[in-house]
Amino acid sequence: MGNNQPVVYITKVAKFLPNEAVSNDEMEDVLGQINGTSSKARRIVLRNNGIKKRYYALDKEGNATHSNAELTKEAVENLFDDSFTSQDVEVLSCGTSSPDQLAPSHASMVHGLLGNKNLELNSASGVCCAGASSLKFGYLSIKSGNSNNAVCTGSERVSTWMLADKFDGETENLKKLKEQPIIAFKKDFLRWMLSDGAGAMLLENKKSEKGLSLRIDWMEAYSYAHEVETCMYAGGEKQEDGSIKSWSEYPSEEWSKQSLFSVKQDVKILDEYILEKGVDSIKQAFEKHQLDETKINYFLPHISSFYFADKLKALFKESGLNIPDEAWFTNLDRVGNVGSASIYLMLEELMNSGKLKTGETIVLSIPESGRFSYAYVHLTVC
Protein backbone atom coordinates (compact mmCIF):
# COMPACT_ATOMS: atom_id res chain seq x y z
CA MET A 1 0.00 0.00 0.00
CA GLY A 2 1.69 3.22 -1.13
CA ASN A 3 2.33 5.86 1.54
CA ASN A 4 0.68 8.64 -0.46
CA GLN A 5 -2.45 6.69 -1.42
CA PRO A 6 -5.63 7.37 0.56
CA VAL A 7 -6.98 4.49 2.63
CA VAL A 8 -10.56 3.56 1.72
CA TYR A 9 -13.13 2.65 4.36
CA ILE A 10 -16.68 1.35 4.20
CA THR A 11 -18.25 3.53 6.88
CA LYS A 12 -21.89 2.51 6.48
CA VAL A 13 -23.98 -0.18 4.74
CA ALA A 14 -27.74 0.08 4.20
CA LYS A 15 -30.45 -1.99 2.52
CA PHE A 16 -33.98 -1.84 1.21
CA LEU A 17 -36.15 -4.93 0.90
CA PRO A 18 -39.60 -4.26 -0.59
CA ASN A 19 -42.94 -5.26 0.93
CA GLU A 20 -43.51 -8.30 3.16
CA ALA A 21 -41.35 -11.41 3.00
CA VAL A 22 -42.78 -14.07 0.67
CA SER A 23 -42.69 -17.70 1.82
CA ASN A 24 -42.12 -20.70 -0.46
CA ASP A 25 -45.81 -21.56 -0.45
CA GLU A 26 -46.79 -18.02 -1.49
CA MET A 27 -44.39 -17.64 -4.42
CA GLU A 28 -46.64 -18.97 -7.14
CA ASP A 29 -49.56 -16.92 -5.81
CA VAL A 30 -47.53 -13.77 -6.49
CA LEU A 31 -45.67 -14.77 -9.67
CA GLY A 32 -48.60 -16.73 -11.12
CA GLN A 33 -48.84 -20.18 -12.70
CA ILE A 34 -47.59 -20.58 -16.25
CA ASN A 35 -50.35 -22.03 -18.44
CA GLY A 36 -52.51 -22.26 -15.28
CA THR A 37 -50.46 -25.21 -14.04
CA SER A 38 -48.35 -25.43 -10.90
CA SER A 39 -44.62 -25.78 -11.66
CA LYS A 40 -43.20 -29.28 -11.32
CA ALA A 41 -39.73 -27.83 -10.79
CA ARG A 42 -40.65 -25.49 -7.93
CA ARG A 43 -40.47 -27.89 -4.97
CA ILE A 44 -37.29 -29.58 -6.24
CA VAL A 45 -35.50 -26.26 -6.78
CA LEU A 46 -36.63 -24.85 -3.42
CA ARG A 47 -35.61 -27.99 -1.58
CA ASN A 48 -32.11 -27.73 -3.05
CA ASN A 49 -31.59 -23.99 -2.72
CA GLY A 50 -32.66 -23.82 0.94
CA ILE A 51 -34.29 -20.39 0.58
CA LYS A 52 -37.22 -19.94 3.00
CA LYS A 53 -38.08 -16.25 2.46
CA ARG A 54 -37.51 -13.64 -0.24
CA TYR A 55 -38.84 -10.22 -1.25
CA TYR A 56 -40.62 -9.05 -4.39
CA ALA A 57 -41.30 -5.49 -5.59
CA LEU A 58 -44.82 -6.73 -6.36
CA ASP A 59 -48.14 -6.61 -4.57
CA LYS A 60 -50.27 -9.74 -4.04
CA GLU A 61 -51.86 -9.26 -7.48
CA GLY A 62 -48.48 -9.17 -9.23
CA ASN A 63 -48.45 -5.40 -9.81
CA ALA A 64 -45.08 -3.66 -9.51
CA THR A 65 -44.66 -1.56 -6.36
CA HIS A 66 -41.12 -0.28 -7.04
CA SER A 67 -38.81 0.07 -10.02
CA ASN A 68 -35.19 -1.05 -9.71
CA ALA A 69 -34.15 2.60 -9.53
CA GLU A 70 -36.64 3.20 -6.72
CA LEU A 71 -35.35 0.22 -4.73
CA THR A 72 -31.82 1.57 -5.12
CA LYS A 73 -32.79 5.11 -4.18
CA GLU A 74 -34.43 3.82 -0.97
CA ALA A 75 -31.27 1.91 0.00
CA VAL A 76 -29.06 4.95 -0.73
CA GLU A 77 -31.27 7.26 1.33
CA ASN A 78 -30.89 4.88 4.28
CA LEU A 79 -27.19 5.83 4.33
CA PHE A 80 -27.92 9.50 4.99
CA ASP A 81 -27.95 11.13 8.43
CA ASP A 82 -26.89 14.44 9.98
CA SER A 83 -23.19 13.68 9.49
CA PHE A 84 -23.50 12.61 5.84
CA THR A 85 -26.33 13.98 3.74
CA SER A 86 -27.37 13.63 0.10
CA GLN A 87 -25.52 16.90 -0.59
CA ASP A 88 -22.20 15.34 0.48
CA VAL A 89 -22.15 12.55 -2.15
CA GLU A 90 -19.33 12.95 -4.71
CA VAL A 91 -19.66 9.68 -6.69
CA LEU A 92 -22.70 7.45 -7.26
CA SER A 93 -21.78 4.02 -8.63
CA CYS A 94 -24.65 1.59 -9.27
CA GLY A 95 -24.51 -2.07 -10.33
CA THR A 96 -27.38 -4.27 -11.48
CA SER A 97 -28.23 -7.05 -13.90
CA SER A 98 -31.87 -5.95 -14.21
CA PRO A 99 -32.04 -2.24 -15.09
CA ASP A 100 -35.47 -0.79 -15.74
CA GLN A 101 -34.57 0.16 -19.31
CA LEU A 102 -31.79 -0.24 -21.88
CA ALA A 103 -30.99 3.49 -21.68
CA PRO A 104 -30.45 5.84 -19.87
CA SER A 105 -28.10 4.13 -17.44
CA HIS A 106 -29.31 2.73 -14.13
CA ALA A 107 -27.15 5.20 -12.16
CA SER A 108 -28.69 8.11 -14.10
CA MET A 109 -32.17 6.99 -13.12
CA VAL A 110 -31.22 6.58 -9.45
CA HIS A 111 -29.59 10.02 -9.47
CA GLY A 112 -32.73 11.48 -10.99
CA LEU A 113 -34.81 10.07 -8.15
CA LEU A 114 -32.37 11.27 -5.48
CA GLY A 115 -32.53 14.76 -6.97
CA ASN A 116 -29.64 15.89 -4.81
CA LYS A 117 -26.87 17.67 -6.78
CA ASN A 118 -24.40 17.41 -9.66
CA LEU A 119 -22.08 14.42 -9.13
CA GLU A 120 -20.09 11.72 -10.95
CA LEU A 121 -21.98 8.60 -12.08
CA ASN A 122 -20.97 5.07 -12.95
CA SER A 123 -23.23 2.20 -14.03
CA ALA A 124 -21.91 -1.36 -13.84
CA SER A 125 -23.71 -4.12 -15.74
CA GLY A 126 -23.29 -7.88 -15.76
CA VAL A 127 -24.82 -10.40 -13.39
CA CYS A 128 -23.89 -10.85 -9.71
CA CYS A 129 -20.45 -9.21 -10.13
CA ALA A 130 -22.13 -5.94 -11.20
CA GLY A 131 -22.43 -4.97 -7.54
CA ALA A 132 -18.73 -5.74 -6.98
CA SER A 133 -17.79 -3.74 -10.09
CA SER A 134 -19.72 -0.73 -8.83
CA LEU A 135 -17.92 -1.08 -5.48
CA LYS A 136 -14.53 -1.23 -7.18
CA PHE A 137 -15.20 1.95 -9.16
CA GLY A 138 -15.92 3.82 -5.93
CA TYR A 139 -12.91 2.24 -4.22
CA LEU A 140 -10.53 3.20 -7.04
CA SER A 141 -11.96 6.72 -7.29
CA ILE A 142 -11.12 7.37 -3.63
CA LYS A 143 -7.85 5.39 -3.77
CA SER A 144 -6.61 7.55 -6.65
CA GLY A 145 -7.43 10.74 -4.77
CA ASN A 146 -10.09 11.66 -7.33
CA SER A 147 -12.83 11.83 -4.70
CA ASN A 148 -13.30 11.84 -0.94
CA ASN A 149 -16.35 9.57 -0.89
CA ALA A 150 -18.52 7.33 -3.05
CA VAL A 151 -21.90 5.68 -2.67
CA CYS A 152 -21.90 2.22 -4.28
CA THR A 153 -24.94 0.01 -4.83
CA GLY A 154 -26.09 -3.41 -5.94
CA SER A 155 -29.76 -3.97 -6.75
CA GLU A 156 -32.17 -6.22 -8.60
CA ARG A 157 -35.80 -6.20 -9.62
CA VAL A 158 -36.26 -9.46 -11.48
CA SER A 159 -39.71 -10.40 -10.21
CA THR A 160 -41.47 -8.64 -13.09
CA TRP A 161 -39.38 -10.70 -15.52
CA MET A 162 -40.69 -13.90 -13.90
CA LEU A 163 -44.42 -13.20 -13.89
CA ALA A 164 -46.44 -15.96 -15.55
CA ASP A 165 -47.88 -13.67 -18.22
CA LYS A 166 -44.38 -13.11 -19.62
CA PHE A 167 -44.48 -16.73 -20.83
CA ASP A 168 -47.99 -16.72 -22.34
CA GLY A 169 -46.69 -16.25 -25.89
CA GLU A 170 -44.32 -19.17 -25.58
CA THR A 171 -46.88 -21.58 -24.12
CA GLU A 172 -49.40 -20.59 -26.78
CA ASN A 173 -46.78 -21.22 -29.45
CA LEU A 174 -46.04 -24.67 -27.99
CA LYS A 175 -49.74 -25.53 -28.01
CA LYS A 176 -49.94 -24.65 -31.72
CA LEU A 177 -46.99 -26.91 -32.36
CA LYS A 178 -48.86 -29.63 -30.40
CA GLU A 179 -46.02 -29.80 -27.89
CA GLN A 180 -46.28 -29.84 -24.10
CA PRO A 181 -46.79 -26.20 -23.04
CA ILE A 182 -44.21 -26.50 -20.26
CA ILE A 183 -41.46 -23.89 -19.99
CA ALA A 184 -37.96 -25.33 -20.29
CA PHE A 185 -36.19 -25.98 -16.99
CA LYS A 186 -33.48 -23.42 -17.89
CA LYS A 187 -36.18 -20.72 -17.51
CA ASP A 188 -38.44 -22.25 -14.84
CA PHE A 189 -35.42 -22.98 -12.60
CA LEU A 190 -34.62 -19.30 -12.07
CA ARG A 191 -38.22 -18.34 -11.21
CA TRP A 192 -37.66 -20.07 -7.85
CA MET A 193 -34.13 -18.77 -7.31
CA LEU A 194 -34.18 -14.98 -7.69
CA SER A 195 -35.71 -12.08 -5.81
CA ASP A 196 -35.65 -8.29 -5.39
CA GLY A 197 -33.85 -5.80 -3.18
CA ALA A 198 -31.07 -3.25 -2.97
CA GLY A 199 -28.01 -2.55 -0.86
CA ALA A 200 -25.79 0.53 -0.61
CA MET A 201 -22.36 1.23 0.85
CA LEU A 202 -20.79 4.54 1.80
CA LEU A 203 -17.05 4.61 1.06
CA GLU A 204 -14.87 7.38 2.51
CA ASN A 205 -11.20 8.28 2.81
CA LYS A 206 -11.53 8.48 6.60
CA LYS A 207 -12.94 6.25 9.33
CA SER A 208 -16.39 6.78 10.76
CA GLU A 209 -16.52 8.95 13.87
CA LYS A 210 -19.63 7.12 15.09
CA GLY A 211 -18.74 3.44 15.07
CA LEU A 212 -16.82 0.68 13.36
CA SER A 213 -15.50 1.05 9.82
CA LEU A 214 -14.29 -1.60 7.37
CA ARG A 215 -10.97 -0.85 5.71
CA ILE A 216 -10.81 -2.15 2.12
CA ASP A 217 -7.40 -3.83 1.95
CA TRP A 218 -7.72 -5.13 -1.61
CA MET A 219 -10.15 -6.12 -4.36
CA GLU A 220 -9.51 -8.68 -7.10
CA ALA A 221 -11.60 -9.85 -10.08
CA TYR A 222 -11.26 -12.67 -12.61
CA SER A 223 -13.08 -13.77 -15.78
CA TYR A 224 -13.10 -17.13 -17.53
CA ALA A 225 -15.10 -16.02 -20.59
CA HIS A 226 -12.09 -16.90 -22.75
CA GLU A 227 -12.51 -20.56 -21.72
CA VAL A 228 -16.22 -21.18 -21.09
CA GLU A 229 -19.36 -20.39 -23.11
CA THR A 230 -22.30 -18.39 -21.76
CA CYS A 231 -24.22 -19.93 -18.86
CA MET A 232 -26.71 -17.31 -17.57
CA TYR A 233 -28.28 -14.84 -19.99
CA ALA A 234 -31.30 -12.74 -20.89
CA GLY A 235 -32.32 -10.86 -24.02
CA GLY A 236 -31.30 -13.56 -26.46
CA GLU A 237 -31.26 -17.27 -27.22
CA LYS A 238 -28.38 -19.69 -27.02
CA GLN A 239 -27.45 -21.36 -30.29
CA GLU A 240 -26.15 -24.89 -30.87
CA ASP A 241 -22.58 -23.62 -31.17
CA GLY A 242 -22.85 -21.93 -27.75
CA SER A 243 -23.12 -18.38 -29.11
CA ILE A 244 -25.94 -16.03 -28.11
CA LYS A 245 -28.27 -14.63 -30.77
CA SER A 246 -29.43 -11.19 -29.65
CA TRP A 247 -33.11 -10.25 -29.28
CA SER A 248 -32.47 -7.47 -31.80
CA GLU A 249 -31.75 -10.08 -34.50
CA TYR A 250 -35.16 -11.74 -34.08
CA PRO A 251 -38.44 -10.50 -35.62
CA SER A 252 -40.42 -8.68 -32.93
CA GLU A 253 -43.20 -11.32 -33.00
CA GLU A 254 -40.62 -13.89 -31.81
CA TRP A 255 -39.74 -11.91 -28.66
CA SER A 256 -42.84 -13.12 -26.87
CA LYS A 257 -43.11 -16.52 -28.56
CA GLN A 258 -39.67 -17.53 -27.32
CA SER A 259 -39.66 -15.57 -24.03
CA LEU A 260 -36.44 -13.95 -25.23
CA PHE A 261 -36.31 -11.52 -22.33
CA SER A 262 -36.64 -14.16 -19.61
CA VAL A 263 -33.58 -15.00 -17.51
CA LYS A 264 -32.14 -18.39 -18.47
CA GLN A 265 -29.37 -20.59 -17.14
CA ASP A 266 -27.57 -23.55 -18.68
CA VAL A 267 -27.64 -25.76 -15.59
CA LYS A 268 -25.18 -28.35 -16.98
CA ILE A 269 -22.48 -25.77 -17.55
CA LEU A 270 -23.26 -24.17 -14.18
CA ASP A 271 -22.68 -27.44 -12.34
CA GLU A 272 -19.50 -28.18 -14.28
CA TYR A 273 -17.67 -24.86 -13.88
CA ILE A 274 -19.05 -22.59 -11.15
CA LEU A 275 -17.18 -24.22 -8.26
CA GLU A 276 -14.08 -25.28 -10.20
CA LYS A 277 -13.38 -21.76 -11.48
CA GLY A 278 -14.30 -20.34 -8.08
CA VAL A 279 -11.60 -22.37 -6.37
CA ASP A 280 -9.07 -21.49 -9.07
CA SER A 281 -9.74 -17.74 -8.81
CA ILE A 282 -9.83 -17.50 -5.01
CA LYS A 283 -6.52 -19.35 -4.79
CA GLN A 284 -5.01 -16.80 -7.19
CA ALA A 285 -6.30 -13.92 -5.07
CA PHE A 286 -5.07 -15.40 -1.78
CA GLU A 287 -1.65 -16.28 -3.21
CA LYS A 288 -1.24 -12.79 -4.71
CA HIS A 289 -1.85 -11.20 -1.32
CA GLN A 290 -0.11 -13.95 0.71
CA LEU A 291 -3.26 -14.38 2.76
CA ASP A 292 -3.40 -17.00 5.49
CA GLU A 293 -7.00 -18.16 5.02
CA THR A 294 -7.06 -19.94 8.39
CA LYS A 295 -7.01 -16.49 10.05
CA ILE A 296 -10.14 -15.20 8.28
CA ASN A 297 -12.79 -14.28 10.86
CA TYR A 298 -15.74 -13.96 8.46
CA PHE A 299 -16.11 -15.46 5.00
CA LEU A 300 -19.16 -14.14 3.11
CA PRO A 301 -19.77 -16.22 -0.03
CA HIS A 302 -22.51 -15.17 -2.40
CA ILE A 303 -24.01 -18.58 -3.14
CA SER A 304 -27.16 -18.88 -5.21
CA SER A 305 -28.16 -22.07 -3.43
CA PHE A 306 -27.21 -24.07 -0.33
CA TYR A 307 -26.85 -26.93 -2.81
CA PHE A 308 -23.41 -25.50 -3.59
CA ALA A 309 -22.26 -24.70 -0.02
CA ASP A 310 -21.06 -28.16 1.09
CA LYS A 311 -19.59 -28.86 -2.35
CA LEU A 312 -17.64 -25.60 -2.22
CA LYS A 313 -16.31 -26.35 1.28
CA ALA A 314 -15.20 -29.81 0.16
CA LEU A 315 -13.45 -28.44 -2.95
CA PHE A 316 -11.70 -25.77 -0.90
CA LYS A 317 -10.31 -28.41 1.46
CA GLU A 318 -9.28 -30.68 -1.42
CA SER A 319 -7.32 -27.80 -2.93
CA GLY A 320 -5.59 -26.97 0.35
CA LEU A 321 -7.74 -23.98 1.31
CA ASN A 322 -8.74 -24.20 4.95
CA ILE A 323 -11.24 -21.44 5.60
CA PRO A 324 -12.65 -22.16 9.10
CA ASP A 325 -16.20 -23.53 9.02
CA GLU A 326 -17.20 -21.11 11.78
CA ALA A 327 -16.15 -18.16 9.58
CA TRP A 328 -18.83 -18.81 6.92
CA PHE A 329 -21.70 -16.33 7.01
CA THR A 330 -24.72 -16.06 4.74
CA ASN A 331 -28.32 -14.85 4.97
CA LEU A 332 -29.50 -16.58 1.77
CA ASP A 333 -32.24 -18.52 3.58
CA ARG A 334 -33.96 -15.39 4.95
CA VAL A 335 -33.25 -12.79 2.26
CA GLY A 336 -33.07 -14.86 -0.93
CA ASN A 337 -30.72 -14.69 -3.90
CA VAL A 338 -30.74 -11.02 -4.87
CA GLY A 339 -27.97 -11.23 -7.47
CA SER A 340 -25.68 -8.20 -7.44
CA ALA A 341 -27.27 -6.97 -4.18
CA SER A 342 -26.62 -10.17 -2.22
CA ILE A 343 -23.12 -9.30 -1.00
CA TYR A 344 -24.37 -5.87 0.12
CA LEU A 345 -27.23 -7.47 2.05
CA MET A 346 -24.88 -9.94 3.74
CA LEU A 347 -22.39 -7.27 4.75
CA GLU A 348 -25.17 -4.96 5.95
CA GLU A 349 -26.48 -7.66 8.29
CA LEU A 350 -23.01 -8.52 9.60
CA MET A 351 -21.85 -4.91 10.04
CA ASN A 352 -25.01 -4.02 11.98
CA SER A 353 -25.05 -7.24 14.04
CA GLY A 354 -22.90 -5.93 16.89
CA LYS A 355 -20.62 -8.98 16.53
CA LEU A 356 -17.64 -7.36 14.78
CA LYS A 357 -14.51 -6.50 16.73
CA THR A 358 -11.58 -4.26 15.79
CA GLY A 359 -8.86 -6.16 13.96
CA GLU A 360 -11.11 -8.92 12.62
CA THR A 361 -10.91 -9.72 8.91
CA ILE A 362 -13.69 -10.32 6.38
CA VAL A 363 -13.50 -11.80 2.89
CA LEU A 364 -16.31 -11.20 0.40
CA SER A 365 -16.62 -13.79 -2.37
CA ILE A 366 -18.80 -12.97 -5.38
CA PRO A 367 -19.19 -15.39 -8.30
CA GLU A 368 -21.40 -14.90 -11.32
CA SER A 369 -22.43 -17.57 -13.79
CA GLY A 370 -23.02 -15.20 -16.73
CA ARG A 371 -19.80 -16.37 -18.28
CA PHE A 372 -18.00 -17.25 -15.06
CA SER A 373 -16.59 -14.14 -13.40
CA TYR A 374 -15.45 -13.84 -9.78
CA ALA A 375 -14.68 -10.94 -7.43
CA TYR A 376 -13.05 -10.93 -3.99
CA VAL A 377 -12.73 -8.22 -1.35
CA HIS A 378 -10.59 -8.28 1.82
CA LEU A 379 -11.74 -6.05 4.69
CA THR A 380 -10.38 -5.29 8.16
CA VAL A 381 -12.60 -4.06 10.97
CA CYS A 382 -11.29 -0.84 12.48
pTM for the whole thing? 0.94
Q: CA-CA distance, 219 to 362, in Å (whole number)?
A: 12
Mean pLDDT by 10 residues, the chain (382 residues): 81 98 96 87 90 96 96 98 97 98 97 98 97 98 98 98 80 54 66 96 96 97 98 94 96 89 89 95 98 98 91 94 96 97 98 97 97 98 98
Q: Please report, for the chain, the start and end positions of each structural domain, with discontinuous segments joined by +.
A: 9-213, 217-381
CATH of 217-381, one of 3.40.718.10, 3.40.50.700, 3.30.70.260, 3.40.47.10: 3.40.47.10
pLDDT score at 166: 81
pLDDT score at 2: 46
* β pairing state of 264-265 and 244-246: unpaired
Q: CA-CA distance, 111 to 92, in Å (whole number)?
A: 8
> Are 9-213 and 217-381 equal in CATH topology?
yes
Q: What is the DSSP string of 233-275?
A: E-SEEE-TTS-EEEGGGS-HHHHHHTTTTS-EE-HHHHHHHHH
- 9-213 domain in CATH 3.40.47.10? yes
